[in-house]
Structures are given as C-alpha cells and as structure tokens.
A = this chain, B = another copy of it.
C-alpha cells in the first residue's frame, strides 16, 4: 500500500482544480457537446492522456464541476435566513453568474443524457434536504409535509428567477418585493393552508 504523501496529494488536487477550471471555460464557450477532451486539454495546457489520469471521462469532469457548484449553493442555503428570500428574488440576486450559466448547460444536457440527469437529481436531493433542515430549524412547529411543500415553492421561485435573469426585468423590484414578502408570510405559516 502506498503511504500518504502530502506533497503528491496537494499536487493532485491542484491539477484537478486546473482541469475543472479549464472545463468550465470550455463548457461556457462551446457547451458540453461542443467541447472536446482535446479542446479541454489544450485549455488546461495538458495532454489528453494526462487529463484521463485525473478524470475517466468528460461526464466525470462535469460531475465534479456540478458537485462543487452544489457545495457552494449548500453553503449559501445554510447561511441564508428564509426571511431574506423576498429581497433576493425581487432584485434577481445571482450567487454566481458563471455557475448559473453552467447549470443551464447541465439542464439542457440532462434532457438527453441520463448520466447528467442523475447528477441533477442528486444535486437537487442534496439542496432540497438542506433547505428542509433550515426551514425546520427556523419554524419547528411546521409539519414535515408542510416543510416539503414550502421548500418546493421556494425552489420554484429561486429557479424561475434564475431563468428569468436571461431576459430584461419588466416589473418594479419594489413591488415584487412586497408580493414576495406576502408569499413568504404565507409559506411559513404553521397553520394548515
């Protein structure tokens, strides 16, 4: 068995980071289908053979990229109070525009590639579970079923807003803020709707 080797492990992680960063640039520019492993290797200044020492396939690079995007989102969910949602929605807050664009690519690919569809389902499962824990923490009197419905509507509002960021805003953010505050009050009631 090989001994742990801190220098080698750090070097390995750094190479992985470089490949993911190159992958993100290629995918943003050409899409998953359009970006070849050769293009990705050139962008990372590595040979195709070297890339395969770190990732078995393009799908594996996409999977690691999605895992990191979701880790950042989970951290954001943990740090965000449910009361902050109306403001984030009304002003169309983007956590990371590049991540959002890449997730649109993931969604398009998920409609034709079952491996990527499974990645999306896992990512959603992780975020949904974390969001449920947060809501339960802030509103302990809500039933599990109420929490799930509430998190689903929050997810719909968040994803819908991310989608609509692609086109110009046509309504007043101040007025949307008022509406979203009312919707929030409705979501976090402990009474049965």
* Interface, chain A (partner B; CB < 8 A): 28-34, 89, 101, 104-105, 107-112, 117, 120-121, 124-125, 128, 145-146, 148-153, 155-164, 166-172, 175-176, 178-180, 182-183, 186-187, 193
Please give the distance in Å from A23's CB to the nearest CB on chain B: 15
Q: What's the dominant secondary structure at chain A's contact region?
A: helix
Q: Can you name 26 A-B residue pairings with CB atoms under 8 Å?
A: A28-B112, A30-B33, A31-B31, A31-B33, A31-B112, A33-B34, A101-B112, A104-B107, A104-B108, A107-B163, A121-B167, A124-B164, A124-B166, A149-B172, A149-B175, A149-B176, A152-B164, A152-B170, A152-B171, A153-B183, A155-B160, A157-B157, A159-B163, A159-B164, A179-B193, A183-B183
Q: Which chain B residue shows the least CB distance to A181?
A: B193
Q: Which of B146, B149, B156, B172 touches A157 (beta carbons < 8 Å)?
A: B156
Inter-chain contact A120/B166, CB cutoff 8 Å: yes
Please give the distance in Å from A57's CB to the nearest CB on chain B: 16
Inter-chain contact A156/B160, CB cutoff 8 Å: yes
Contacts of A178 in B (CB 8 A): 193
Kindly state the separation between the CA atoms of A186 and B180 in the bound complex, as whole angstroms.
10
Contacts of A29 in B (CB 8 A): 112
Inter-chain contact B175/A193, CB cutoff 8 Å: yes
Inter-chain contact A170/B31, CB cutoff 8 Å: no
Contacts of A146 in B (CB 8 A): 175
